[in-house]
Amino acid sequence: MGREENRGNKGQVVTFTAPSVRILVVDDNRVSLKVAVGLLRPYQMQVETADSGACAVEMVREHTYDLVLMDYMMPDMNGADVAKNIRGMEGDSYKKLVIVALTGNADQETQELFLAAGINDFITKPVEMGSLDKVLSKWIPEEKMVFEQEEIGEGQMNTGQAVLTDWQMEGINVETGMSYSGNDRTLYLEVLTDFADSIEERAAQIEQAVEERDLDVYIMGVHSLKSSARYLGAVAVADMAQALEADAKREDWRAVELGTPELLSSYRSLYQSIAPYRLDRSYTGKRKRFNREEVYALLQQLEKCMEEYDIDRGEEIVGTLQEYDLGKAWSGRRDRIMKAVDQFDYHACKKEACSWRLALEKES
């Protein structure tokens, strides 16, 4: 059967599914990572994530992927560095692995840099469903595609949009933000919540970079904010961050010092706009009695999931852990595991699960 496209504003369409395809998504920005994973969900692929270039290199060395979807501008190791590391590995599969960059700058010079580094293709950020589908259709082998068109029903889509467009969030264009989440209401709510939860920490990092006149940290901070804010629909904050990123790249510290307070004031004010709609992730069901053997087994499974970078199964296990009444003794450990899974931090989650499991062994 040939490829068939059916696109429009009434529903979100994917042209194929690919359950056997294994894809690695790389981004140091949690909001961008969550959006990318969410946009890939309708394709039913096996999606794994990495929050740094170094982690991505390690995961590619240890596992087999069909495609790497990677943010280009990351701290420590950017997309070109990651691609060069992968292409330099022993084995023909590393030379053939498809690497797609996510970038806010796709001028001719950047494209030539991608080509020289061994990057096959790129998608401009913020990522839109149409451009993602086009690139996936181009690079995923046709024999791995299942051409059963999937569409979010018109009624379901319109209901979700009607609820969201009634929302009043100062500084945020909900319709724009929804479009970048593939008109997926659940995904957009997750993005809003993650953005709000990280505001104070990220604002403080940008302030500290200005105080210490750390150009590299400042550029990465406002670059990350620009991407997150744009995915959210916070266009004014994204534009301010973009302008200050350009000032910093020109080493114009006067412009940076003058403009940053206004940026951070607008950034922090978004929390109050989002707060009424922020997801409450606390467990509301009736908790069951703590069972040491069951929790121990769950922690063993969680460690294995983190070793295999299986975030979906990890989230399921965390959900089961929430059903137990752990008391003060263990609830803090569960909270730290929940935070690590939410941030796609495999190492921290595995470390905490192992520590908790060993503590249970000592008490038995």
Residue 222: its pLDDT value, please?
A: 96
6 located within any domain: no
In a domain, 7, yes or no: no
Instruction: Specify whether 348 is located in the same domain as 232.
Output: no
pLDDT for the residue numbered 344: 79
Of the residues 86, 119, 148, which one is the last residue of a structural domain?
Answer: 148
Q: Which CATH number fits the domain that encloses residue 122? A: 3.40.50.2300
Q: Which of 131, 148, 165 is the last residue of a domain?
A: 148
Question: What share of the chain in percent tops pLDDT 90?
Answer: 62
How many Å is the Cα radius of gyration of the chain? 21
Whether the pLDDT of residue 161 is over 50: the answer is no
Pair (22, 98) in one structural domain? yes
Residue with tokens 């690695």: 24
Going by pLDDT thresholds of 50, 70 and 90, the confidence category of residue 12 is: low
Q: Does residue 318 carry a pLDDT above 80?
A: yes
Residues spanned by the domain of 96: 13-148
pLDDT at 149: 52
Number of domains in the chain: 3
Q: How far, rounded to the nearest angstrom, does the alpha carbon of residue 186 sit from its chain's CA centroid?
A: 15
Question: Is residue 46 in some structural domain?
Answer: yes
Q: Global pTM? A: 0.78
- Verify that 262 and 176 share a domain, yes or no: yes
Instruction: Answer yes or no: do 262 and 307 share one domain.
Output: no
Residue 275 corresponds to which tokens in the numbers above? 């707060």
Tell me what pLDDT residue 6 has: 37
Mean pLDDT of the region 91-103: 94
The 10s digit of each residue's pLDDT in 249-294 is 999 999 999 999 999 999 999 999 999 988 877 777 888 999 999 9
Tokens representing residue 60 in the block: 């590619």
Distances from the Cα of 153 to the Cαs of 8, 17, 150, 184, 266, in angstroms? 12, 17, 9, 12, 37
Rounded Cα distance between 330 and 322, Å, is 11
Would 1 be classed as within a structural domain? no
Q: What is the pLDDT of residue 362?
A: 87
Domain membership flag for residue 170: yes
First to last CA, the chain: 59
pLDDT given at position 182: 87
Q: 9 is written with which tokens?
A: 């504003």
23 lies in the same domain as 103: yes
Question: Which position has the token pair 């990522």?
Answer: 127
pLDDT at 24: 96
- Which tops the pLDDT comparison, 126 or 13? 126
